[in-house]
Amino acid sequence: TTVPALLNSTSNQLYLHFFSDISVSAAGFRLEYKRTTVPALLNSTSNQLYLHFFSDISVSAAGFRLEYKTVSLTSCPEPVVPMNGIKVGERLHMNNVVSFQCEPGYTLQGNSHISCMPGTVRRWNYPPPLCIAQCGGIQEEMEGMILSPGFPGNYPSNSDCTWRIYLPVGYGAHVQFLNFSTEANHDFLEIRNGPLDTSTVIGRFSGQDVPPSLLTTSHETTVYFHSDHSQNKPGFRLEYQGKRLRTWLQV
């Protein structure tokens, strides 16, 4: 008996029907099937497209059949929205501009505005930016958010990060913790009542418990975070608000 040749279906459904009469019996058959996935639709952003096909010395298969059609390049591809960020603007045509913003606590790294370029290739003039939780920084707004580096992922080892909060004279920073997870007794966060490394420490926190809220009595506040070389945790997320000290302390 002859083993049938390899078959390749052209549909996502295959029907097998086996029939035997009343005469001779035989061993029958055994077959294997394997599913193959048709690649998704592709849209090039250039007036030139290069296709390269490669096969090795082992198994042969049916190969491929594709169709293409010419379309007008009127728009750029949808830009990638950075994690922890948002995209502003929906128009992707030539000369349109799309901008990006980061969620509170994150710093935009790259170009905040990108433009769909004219020419034979539809592309953006810059790659989309990133939104990064940085190690340290300056906060001069009346309210804001501070994140451990890499948040919500784990912070890196051997970090020493300093953030300074500058408010108008007569205001203090009301600090509230939203998330907190550090290696107990080794990685810690300090809140200092002043702008110097030697300023009075009014809170030092480590471990898994979310610290209570606190109020600094200086218009300049230092937030300091330290991690050692061993375990890494998700770190912290806190928000602060400027409060007029005379009014707040009288309540």
What is the share, in percent, of the chain residues with pLDDT greater than 70?
A: 96
The pLDDT value recorded for residue 45 is 66
Residues 6+ apart with CB under 8 A from 47: 73, 120, 121
The pLDDT value recorded for residue 36 is 73
Query: Peptide bond before 156: cis, by omega within 30 degrees of 0?
Result: no
DSSP at 5: P
Two tokens, residue 43: 């849209």
Query: Residue 176 and residue 137: Cα distance in Å, rounded?
Result: 18
Q: Are 244 and 219 in contact (CB under 8 A)?
A: no
Of residues 207 and 36, more confidently modeled: 207
* Full DSSP string of 212-225: PPEE-SSSEEEEEE
Residue 144 in this model has a pLDDT that exceeds 80: yes
Q: What is the mean pLDDT of residues 25-46?
A: 79
Q: Which domains does the chain have, with CATH numbers?
A: 85-132 (2.10.70.10), 137-246 (2.60.120.290)
Two tokens, residue 58: 């082992």
Residue type at 36 in one-letter notation: T
Count the Cβ atoms, other than its own, within 10 Å of residue 221.
26
Residue 242 in this model has a pLDDT that exceeds 90: yes
Residue 2 in this model has a pLDDT that exceeds 90: no
Average pLDDT, the chain: 90
Query: Residue 207 and residue 185: Cα distance in Å, rounded?
Result: 7
Two tokens, residue 44: 């090039």
For 43-72, what is each residue's pLDDT tens digit? 776 778 889 988 888 878 778 888 888 776
The pLDDT value recorded for residue 251 is 53
Query: Residue 139 and residue 94: Cα distance in Å, rounded?
Result: 37
Residue 158 in this model has a pLDDT that exceeds 60: yes
Query: Residue 133 and residue 142: Cα distance in Å, rounded?
Result: 20
The pLDDT value recorded for residue 147 is 98
Question: Which has the minimum average pLDDT: 188-192, 230-234, 247-251?
Answer: 247-251
Helix (H, G, I), strand (E, B) or coil at 100: strand
For 123-138, what is each residue's pLDDT tens digit? 999 999 999 999 999 9
Q: What is the mean pLDDT of residues 204-216?
A: 97
Q: How many CA atoms lie within 13 A of 195 on its CB side?
A: 10
The pLDDT value recorded for residue 248 is 57
Residue 247 in this model has a pLDDT that exceeds 70: no
For 69-116, what is each residue's pLDDT tens digit? 877 677 888 999 999 999 999 999 889 999 999 999 999 999 999 999
The pLDDT value recorded for residue 72 is 67
For 168-190, what is each residue's pLDDT tens digit? 999 999 999 999 999 999 999 99
Q: Are 111 and 89 in contact (CB under 8 A)?
A: no
Q: How confident is the model at residue 12 (pLDDT cuts 50, 70, 90)?
A: confident
Report CA 246 to chain centroid distance, whole Å.
42
Q: How confident is the model at residue 31 (pLDDT cuts 50, 70, 90)?
A: confident
The pLDDT value recorded for residue 42 is 80
